[in-house]
Structure 1
Amino acid sequence: MPLAPDKKPESMGQTAYRQLREAIETGVLAPGDRISVNGLADQLSISRTPVREAIAWLETDGLIVHQPYLGRVVAQLDHQMVNELYAVRMMLEPAAAAMAARNATDAEIAVLKEMVVFEQSILDNAIERARHNRRFHEAVYRTAHNRYVISTLNALQTSMILLGPATANNPDRLKTAYAEHVDLVECIAARDANGAEKLIARHLAEGQRVHIKYLLGRQQPPT
């Protein structure tokens, strides 16, 4: 299909940036992983120059940082940073869910229902599930129809990407998180703002618990 007249083709640097950002988002590149220009260029089958461009952009985003003796690595949130991020999310996302219950159109609710049906089909695919989870939460933000809530939550996207999927190493949480998504959409469809607000607060609290448990377990010294 030919490109639209006003749409320019993506540069190699932009392609590399998009692919690397998605790799960080889905956990293919995990927090703390070392970043090698040569290795990534070989993996993406492109030259070193666009990979260097992409890495520079990701450093500007805060997704890649330089550490002494290690070089460039994928940034990682520590215990306190995770708590601080969830504190902000706990203020904003319940409000967004309540607004969604009040303001979502019938067409938007239909799309949210389709999204949870699709989610059920990819529960065994960790990478696709992580990608879809972010799309689902962003869709809920948009159905709130409040530009200030949306812009503030969008500003947190980089840090939220570094959180990674809370369910990645916890199959039980994977199932309960999916069930909570289903219940959230039901609350929005029923125009139950109070129920949506409480449900997303519980959803976030459990996600925070799983992330903190993972961080504390990872930082324990070997026995």
Structure 2
Amino acid sequence: MAEKNHEEELPHGQWVYLQLLDEIRCGTLSPGTRLREIELSKRLEISRTPIREALRRLEAEGLVAHQPRMGAIVRVLDYSEVMELYEMRAVLEGTAARLTARTASDVEVAEIMSLGKEFAAAADSPGRAFEVNRQLHRAIQNAAKNRYLVKAIHALEKTLMILGPSTLIDAARAEAATKEHERVLAAIEARDGVAAENEMRAHIEAAQRARLKALRLQEWPGEEE
């Protein structure tokens, strides 16, 4: 079949991978959704070879699983997995906040503070809040200056994509996150590593509670009865 004219600089397999990754992140492809090669090939207007390549990559990253008689599906996380992911996220991002408070340059701290203010201003705009939140957390992680820590956080974040859209789409959660950010950033600005770690852990734990609540309201397929 004729290939669709995709981004010329991207190999077809990479383009399909990024497309499916974005659909998983935004919830278009929800947990348990079957990923049939023929249907994806027709919808994305591309041959099945790059589809297979992308699915293999997503499976290697833990976002796609193969089920008997069903084939490839978007992986479904159970309750314990979600709990464990957020517990590890609290440990890793808490460590990043502590290291940043102690080692970040004044320029890096100023950038982090600026992003905090930008998030507060964008809290009532879910799409913008999500993007600024991502930038803020990434700035804190990078300022920790530990490449292995950052790599571990990125791997964790990719698995969390399975859970769909950010909880920041909820106005009350976005407002609470703003206050939580303020406490984290105040500790970083004060160069108080212990407080920064504790506040970041509290922030992630609050996000965990919001996520579990949202999943229950969605009749989450991974939740035990």
In the TM superposition, what are the counterparts of 1:1-223 in structure 2 within 5 Å?
9-120=9-120, 122-123=122-123, 126=126, 129-167=129-167, 170-217=170-217, 218=219
1:46–1:173 Cα change, 3 Å: same
1:108 maps to amino acid: E
Higher alpha-carbon deviation: 206-215 or 54-63: 206-215
Conservation of the 8 A alpha-carbon contact between 1:23 and 1:29: yes
Deviation, 1:11, is: 0.6
Q: 1:15-61 CA deviation, whole Å, 9 max, x = no partner?
A: 11122212222323222222233443444443333222212211111
1:182–1:26 Cα change, 3 Å: farther
Unaligned runs of 5+ in 1: 1-7
CA distance in structure 2 between the aligned counterparts of 1:121 and 1:52, rounded to whole angstroms: 42
- The count of corresponding residues between Structure 1 and Structure 2 is 214
Conservation of the 8 A alpha-carbon contact between 1:142 and 1:150: yes
CA distance in structure 1 between the aligned counterparts of 2:151 and 2:177, rounded to whole angstroms: 25
Identity level (%): 36
CA distance in structure 2 between the aligned counterparts of 1:51 and 1:13, rounded to whole angstroms: 7
CA distance in structure 1 between the aligned counterparts of 2:135 and 2:37, rounded to whole angstroms: 29
Deviation, 1:133, is: 3.4
TM-score under structure 2 length normalisation: 0.78
SS at match of 1:156: helix
Conservation of the 8 A alpha-carbon contact between 1:26 and 1:130: no
1:128–1:62 Cα change, 3 Å: farther
SS at match of 2:167: coil
Higher alpha-carbon deviation: 135-144 or 160-169: 160-169
Q: Which residue number in structure 2 is paired with residue 5 of structure 1?
A: none
Conservation of the 8 A alpha-carbon contact between 1:25 and 1:131: no
Higher alpha-carbon deviation: 160-169 or 192-201: 160-169
1:73 maps to amino acid: I
1:79 maps to amino acid: Y
TM-score under structure 1 length normalisation: 0.79
Conservation of the 8 A alpha-carbon contact between 2:76 and 2:162: yes
1:152 maps to amino acid: A
1:27–1:219 Cα change, 3 Å: closer
Unaligned runs of 5+ in 2: 1-7
1:83 maps to amino acid: M
Higher alpha-carbon deviation: 38-47 or 101-110: 38-47
